[in-house]
Amino acid sequence: MDLRQLVRTLRRRWKFAVAMFLLGLIGSAFVTLSMTPSYSSTARVYITSTSSGTIDAYQAGIYSAQRVASYANLAKDPALLGRVIREVGLEMTPAELGPRVAVEAVPNTVILQVTVTDPDPTVAQQLARAESSEIAKLVAKLEAPKTSGNDDQASGAAPIVARIAGDASFNADPVSPKLGLNLAVGALLGLLIGVGGAVLRDLFDTSVKTPEDLMEVSGSSVMTVIPFDSSVPKHPLILDPEGHADRLEAFRVLRTNLQFVDLDAKRQLLVISSAVPDEGKSVTATNLAITIAQTGRRVLLMDCDFRKPSVAKLLGLENAVGLLSVMVGRASLRECIQYHSSGVEFLATGPRPPNPAEVLETQVMRELLSQVREQYDVVIIDAPPLLPVADPAIIAPMVDGVLLVTRYGKTSRELVHQAVARLDSVGARVIGVVLNMTPRRMIAGYGYGYGYGYGESVDDGRSMTRPKAVKTRRYDRNGSRHTEVPGRSR
C-alpha cells in the first residue's frame, strides 16, 4: 500500500481511527485516575575508606567502589527490611516492603542511592531515612576489624565506613501515575490501533468503493456516481429540478452517457438490474426515467420485478393491472399504461404470477417488448436482482443492454463479477455500471461532467424545459372506462 492508498483509506475510515484515538485517550485517563498515587523519597549513603596516603587512597577508592555494589545487593536483605519496618512502626512484611525499595550504586562513585515509594509521602521519607540508617549500621557491622585473643578491643580501625549524606528527601508531588505521559501514550496507542485497523479493514474489505475498482471488476464503463442522500427513504424521486442538486446532476450525467452508448439507435430498450437486493436499482430506474422525460422524450417505465414490485409505490400509482394483465389478454397495453405527473408513462407488473420466469420467457413477452419499442423513445425495465433469480437473465437478451447498479461499500467485487458473468453467459450486453449511494466526500474527487460525463450540451438546452401539461386518458383497473388527468405533451 503506497502513500496515496493510505490517505484514501484514512479518508474512508477516519471515523474508526478517530474513535480508537479517543478510546485510547479516555481509557488511559480512566486507568490513570483510578490508580493510587505513589510518592518517593531519596537518601544517599557515602561509603569510603579510612586508609591514608596517596597510593593507599587510590587502592582504597577502588576497593570502596567494589564494596558499594555488594552493599547495594545486601540492602534488600529480609532481616534488614524487617528492622526498617520495626523502626518506622508499619504493619507489613519484608516481602511487601521489598518492591517499594530500590538501592543502586551511582556509577563511577562510592555512593549508594536509596529510593523508597509509598502512597504516603511522609511514610516514604521515614522508610528512606530508616533504610539508609540500617545500611550504615550493616556496613559498620560487616567492616568491623577482627579481635585477637581475649582482647575486647579492635585490632585496628574499620577499612570501610558508611556515612549518611543528608536527610531523606520529601516530595509532595506523586511520581506515579503521570497523567500527561499516560494520556500521550494511550492516545498514541489508540491512534496506531485505529490506523492499523483501518488499513486491515480496507485490505480485507472486498466491497466496491471507487469507480476504478468497479470499472476493473465489471469490465464496463462507470456511467455515473450517485451520491448518498439521507432523505431518499422519504423523498426517493427527484421531481424538483431545483432540489437534490447533486443527485439530479448524477442522473443527468447518466442520461447523457446513455445517449452515447449507441449513436445510431433512435430508440433504446434498457434493463436496470443489480447483483443482489437493496442496491437501489428501482429508485435508479425511476429517477432515470424521470430525468429522460424532462428532455421531452417519450419514456415508458416497466416494472418487471414480479418478485418484489416497488416502482408503483415510488410513483404513487396502482399495481393491480399491468404487464401480466396485457400478457394474458385481460386488458390492452393502452388500458394498462398509467401516467405520472413527471411525464413518465408507467406499466406496472399487475397480478403476481406463480411462475415469473416462465412468464417472462414467453413469445408474448418478446412481442410486447417489440411493441413498446416502436411506441416509445426510451423503455426502461426494472428487473429483479441477477444472482438470486433467473428473471433478469431471461429479459436481458431481448433488450439493447443492461445497466448494472452497485452500492458503495456493500456490493462486493465477487458479486459484481458473478453478475456480469451471468449476463455474458446468456449473450446480454452490459452497457455500463452505476456506483450508487456513494459518500459525498468520495464524489468530490471525481466531479460531474468531466471524468465520467460528457456535459449537458447534447440536450440542446432541453434538459431544463418542462413539458406542457395536457389532458391524457387514464383507464381504471378493468379498462372499461377512463378519466381525464394531467399529463404531458407528446
Q: Where are the domains of the chain?
A: 3-35+178-203, 39-146+153-164, 208-486
Provide the strand spans (E) within 165-262: 222-227
Distances (CA, A) of 358 to 29, 58, 430: 66, 109, 23
Task: From the options 3.30.70.1130, 3.30.565.10, 3.30.70.1400, 1.10.238.10, give the CATH code of 39-146+153-164.
Answer: 3.30.70.1130
Cβ neighbours of residue 19 under 8 Å, at least 6 residues apart? 194
Q: What is the DSSP-derived secondary structure letter of residue 308?
A: S
Task: Provide the pLDDT for residue 399.
Answer: 94
CA–CA separation, 434 and 380 (whole Å): 15
- Among 18, 13, 211, 41, residue whose Cα is nearest residue 117: 41
Distances (CA, A) of 453 to 140, 226, 271: 94, 12, 20
Question: Each residue of 333-356: pLDDT tens digit?
Answer: 999 999 999 999 999 999 999 999
CA–CA separation, 392 and 413 (whole Å): 20
Provide the grid cell at 60. 582504597
Distances (CA, A) of 268 to 191, 291, 357, 467: 53, 15, 23, 21
Task: Provide the pLDDT for residue 470.
Answer: 33
- Among 57, 413, 454, 478, residue whose Cα is nearest residue 253: 454
Q: Which CATH code is given to the segment(s) 208-486?
A: 3.40.50.300
In one-letter notation, the amino acid at residue 30 is: F
Task: Provide the pLDDT for residue 264.
Answer: 64
List average pLDDT for each run of 10 residues in the chain, which is 490 residues long. Answer: 74 84 91 88 84 56 73 87 90 89 86 91 92 88 67 58 86 86 91 88 82 91 92 87 78 91 80 95 96 94 95 94 93 94 95 92 94 95 95 94 94 94 94 92 54 36 35 37 38
Cβ proximity of 271 and 305 under 8 Å: no
Question: Each residue of 242-273: pLDDT tens digit?
Answer: 666 888 999 999 999 998 887 667 788 999 99
Task: Provide the pLDDT for residue 61.
Answer: 62
Task: Provide the pLDDT for residue 141.
Answer: 85
